[in-house]
Structure 1
Amino acid sequence: MITRMSHVCLYVLDQDAAKAFYTEKLGFEVRFDIDMGEGFEGGGKGFRWLTVGPPDQPDVQITLADCRMGHDEQTAEEVRALVAKGALGAAVFNTDDCHKTFRELSERGVAFLSEPAERPYGIEAVFRDDSGNWFSLTQPRG
């Protein structure tokens, strides 16, 4: 029986830049940043296992994956193009105060696609990370 989800994978264009974005701009913590060695995928350079997560959710890890992870060169390039285009990587991050978090993240340089607005499910603003993945920042209706 499955008991919970522990990891989710986001493809990113540059793991170092993504690590900085998620830790410095969103305030997440690094869970793992490990060179897995050349025996793993990664174009012959060794494979980097990089995960981050919200400080108050230690059991959740977001894998910031190189687009080559699990893919041949042609597929990796196709994935890179889709990520950069904003066609992949949608998720929802909850907040207790969407307006306040919107202001804080905007001040840190997060690019928002929409400002906080009333929705049937709560207050939502939408932003992109530095790779093109987009996210709903949602204050759920309570």
Structure 2
Amino acid sequence: MTLGISQVTIYVEDQQRAVDFWTGKMGFTITTDLPYGEDRWIEVEPPAGGTRLVISKAGPKWPGPAKDLPNYVLFQADDIVKAHRELAARGVEFSQEPKQEPWGWSAVFKDDEGHLFHLGQH
């Protein structure tokens, strides 16, 4: 049996603002954008392919963005210094610049919804 991860959901207040961030600043591609009840089912894929992000409208039962700690989605770069420079030039805000950790390189960035994410390099 082969298992993999196809999607990870991010709950947002404003789906269009999130789409603009992930496509415009992060360089992801929209793979699915369909009506979903009163909202939309939106999937975006990173430039290198792989696991898609589902940008889902947050509701009362879903938590808002964690303001103090990065969430559980970790992005990987083959050259974190170059990725940081390019993403920052596109307007991505970093709360932690790339730094060497015992396990590899790490940086933390914030999306336009306030979610924090790790960017790593092994």
- 2:87 aligned partner: 105
Aligned residue pairs: how many? 122
Q: 1:100 to 1:86 in 2, by over 3 A?
A: same
Following superposition, the deviation at residue 120 of structure 1 comes to 1.3
Q: 1:89 to 1:26 in 2, by over 3 A?
A: same
- 2:61 aligned partner: 75
In structure 2, the gaps of 5 or more residues are: none
Give the greater-gyration-radius structure (CA): 1
Q: What's the CA shift string for 1:63-103, capped at 9, x where partnerless?
A: 011002xxxxx435xx3xx3163567331100011111111
**Contact 1:90/1:133 (CA < 8 Å) preserved in 2?**
no
Cα distance between partner residues in 1 of 2:98 and 2:73: 16
Normalising by structure 2, we get a TM-score of 0.89
More strand, by proportion: 2
Alignment of 1:8-47 (within 5 A): 8-36=8-36, 40=37, 46-47=38-39
Cα distance between partner residues in 2 of 1:85 and 1:127: 12
In structure 1, the gaps of 5 or more residues are: 41-45, 69-73
Q: Is residue 54 of structure 1 aligned with residue 46 of structure 2?
A: yes
Q: 1:86 to 1:75 in 2, by over 3 A?
A: farther
Could you list the structure 1 runs, at least 4 aligned residues long, displaced by more than 3 angstroms after superposition. Answer: 84-90
SS of 2:48's equivalent in the other structure is coil
**Contact 1:113/1:127 (CA < 8 Å) preserved in 2?**
yes
Identity %: 37
